[in-house]
C-alpha cells in the first residue's frame, strides 16, 4: 500500500524499521464517521491519497457495527426535521450541542438516501415499497430505518466494501494515542461538559477546590491516615491523600483521570 511513500533511513534499518507514510488525508477510526469521511474525501478529489488508521480491523470494530435499533431520520410527510431535532434535544436532556444536533437531523435525510441508493444498503420496506420506519427509544414518531436488528452490520459492511473498492489506504491495528492526546482535551471533547463531575454529583462526593480547606478539615479529624496502602474500591486501586474513617481525600485526577473514570 502506497509503497513508494515509505522512507527508510539507513541508520533506522540497522536498528529498527521506521515506516513513514505520507498521505494527503489521515482519518482515525473506521466507524460510520470515518468511512463516510474517507468516501466523501475521495468523491471530492479522487487524486487525493487517503489513509484510514484504525485500532481494530476495518469494518469489524467500533460502535457503528453494533447498531441494532437503526437510523433515525425524518422521512414521512407527517414527520419533520424540527420534530426530530426536539426529540434529540429532549432525549439528551438538553445537553447536546444544538448546532450539531440540527446538522445531524438535517443531513440524516441525505445520508440515508446515500446509504441506500449509492452504497447499496438494503433496509426493510413496507408492502408499498416505501422504507419501513419503526418506533424507537426517545422518538415521538416512528422514524427508525432498520434492517431487522442488524442495521449496523448492513451499514458498515456496505461502507467498508466501497472503501475497499476505491483503494483507500488502510492501517489496521494502528492505535493513535499521542496524536489524539496532543489535539484533544479528552475531558471536554463534546460540548465542554465534564460528565465525570455530573456523575459525581449523584454520589456522596464533595468537591473542594481549595486544598487548604481540606488540610484544615483533616487536621480536625481523629485517626487521620496518610496514604499508606492502596485503597481498593470494587477492585480498582485508587491513590488517596488522606483518610479518616469513612472519609477519604482523593485528587480529582486519581479518581476520574483513568479509563474507568465514567
Ligand atoms: C451496542 C450499541 C448499540 C447502538 N445502537 C444504536 C442505534 O440503534 N441507533 C443509533 O443511532 N446509534 C446506536 N448506537 C450508537 C452508535 O453506534 C454510535 O453513535 C455511532 O456508531 C458512532 O459512530 P462513529 O463512527 O463516530 O464511531 P465508531 O463506529 O465507534 O467508530 C470509532 C472508530 O474509531 C476507532 N478508534 C477508536 N479509538 C482509536 C484510536 N485511538 N486509534 C485508532 N482508532 C481508534 C475504533 O476502532 C472505530 O473503528 C449504538 C452503540 C452501541 C455501542
Q: What is the pLDDT averaged over residues 9-16?
A: 50
Report pLDDT for 19.
77
Q: Which residue has the higher pLDDT, 1 or 207?
A: 207
| Ligand 1 atom with least separation from CA of 156 | 29
Q: Is 211's pLDDT higher than 60?
A: yes
- Our mutation pick for probing the ligand 1 site, out of 26, 29, 54, counting the most ligand atoms within 8 A of Cβ, is 29
Here the cell at position 189 is: 471533547
| Ligand 1 atom with least separation from CA of 30 | 49
HEC readout, 60-123: CCCCHHHCCCCEECCCCCCCCHHHHHHHHHHHCCCCCCHHHHHHHHHHHHHHHHHHHHHCCCCC
Ligand 1 interacting residues, C-beta cut-off 6 A: 28-34, 53-56, 61-64, 66-71, 175-177, 180
- Cell 459525581 locates to 200
Q: What is the pLDDT averaged over residues 13-35?
A: 84
Q: Which of 173, 176, 114 is nearest to 145 (CA)?
A: 114
Determine if residue 152 is left, alpha or beta; phi over 0 gives left, psi from -120 to 50 gives alpha, anything else beta. alpha
224-254 pLDDT, tens digit per residue, is 887 777 777 767 778 888 888 778 888 877 7
Please tell me the residue having the least CA distance from ligand 1 atom 5.
67
Report pLDDT for 17.
64
Q: Which residue has the higher pLDDT, 160 or 184?
A: 160
Q: 88: CA distance to ligand 1 center in Å?
A: 18
Report pLDDT for 9.
47
Q: 62: CA distance to ligand 1 center in Å?
A: 4
The rounded distance, in Å, linking the Cα atoms of 196 and 106 is 30
Please tell me the residue having the least CA distance from ligand 1 atom 51.
63
Q: What percent of the chain has pLDDT above 70?
A: 80
Residue 35 to residues 72, 158, 160, 221, Cα–Cα distance (Å): 19, 10, 7, 57
Q: Is 213's pLDDT higher than 70?
A: yes
The rounded distance, in Å, linking the Cα atoms of 58 and 126 is 32
Residue 50 pairs in a beta bridge with: 25
Q: Is 3's pLDDT higher than 50?
A: no
Report pLDDT for 193.
63
70-124 pLDDT, tens digit per residue, is 999 999 999 999 999 999 999 988 888 899 999 999 999 999 999 999 999 999 9
Residue 247 pairs in a beta bridge with: 244
Confidence of residue 191 (pLDDT cuts 50, 70, 90): low
Q: Is 150's pLDDT higher than 70?
A: yes
The rounded distance, in Å, linking the Cα atoms of 160 and 155 is 9
Here the cell at position 49 is: 491519497
Q: Where are the beta strands (DSSP E) in 37-196?
A: 50-53, 71-72, 133-134, 144-145, 169-171
Residues 6 or more apart whose CB falls under 8 angstroms from that of 57 comprise 172, 173
Confidence of residue 25 (pLDDT cuts 50, 70, 90): very high
Cβ proximity of 50 and 169 under 8 Å: yes
| Ligand 1 atom with least separation from CA of 56 | 47
Amino acid at each position: 500500500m502506497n509503497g513508494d511513500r515509505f522512507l527508510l533511513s539507513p541508520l533506522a534499518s540497522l536498528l529498527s524499521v521506521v515506516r513513514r507514510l505520507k498521505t494527503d488525508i489521515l482519518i482515525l477510526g473506521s466507524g460510520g464517521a470515518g468511512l463516510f469521511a474517507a468516501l466523501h474525501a475521495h468523491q471530492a478529489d479522487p487524486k487525493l491519497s487517503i489513509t484510514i488508521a484504525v485500532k481494530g480491523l476495518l469494518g469489524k470494530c467500533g460502535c457503528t457495527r453494533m447498531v441494532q435499533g437503526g437510523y433515525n431520520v425524518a422521512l414521512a410527510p407527517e414527520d419533520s426535521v424540527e420534530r426530530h431535532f426536539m426529540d434529540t434535544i429532549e432525549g439528551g436532556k438538553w445537553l447536546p450541542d444544538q448546532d450539531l444536533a440540527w446538522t445531524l437531523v438535517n443531513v440524516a435525510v441525505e445520508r440515508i438516501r446515500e446509504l441506500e441508493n449509492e452504497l447499496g444498503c438494503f433496509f426493510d420496506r413496507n408492502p408499498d415499497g416505501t422504507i419501513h420506519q419503526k418506533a424507537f427509544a426517545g422518538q415521538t414518531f416512528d422514524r427508525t430505518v432498520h434492517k431487522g436488528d442488524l442495521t449496523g452490520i448492513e451499514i458498515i459492511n456496505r461502507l467498508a466494501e466501497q472503501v475497499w473498492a476505491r483503494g483507500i489506504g488502510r492501517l489496521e491495528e494502528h492505535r493513535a494515542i499521542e496524536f489524539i492526546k496532543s489535539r484533544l482535551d479528552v475531558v471536554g471533547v463534546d460540548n465542554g461538559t465534564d460528565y465525570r463531575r455530573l456523575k459525581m454529583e449523584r454520589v456522596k462526593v464533595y468537591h473542594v477546590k481549595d486544598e487548604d480547606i481540606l488540610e484544615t478539615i483533616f487536621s480536625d479529624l481523629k485517626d487521620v491516615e496518610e496514604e499508606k496502602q492502596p485503597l481498593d474500591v470494587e477492585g480498582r486501586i485508587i491513590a488517596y491523600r488522606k483518610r479518616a474513617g469513612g472519609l477519604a481525600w482523593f485528587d480529582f485526577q486519581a479518581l476520574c483521570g483513568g479509563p474507568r473514570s465514567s
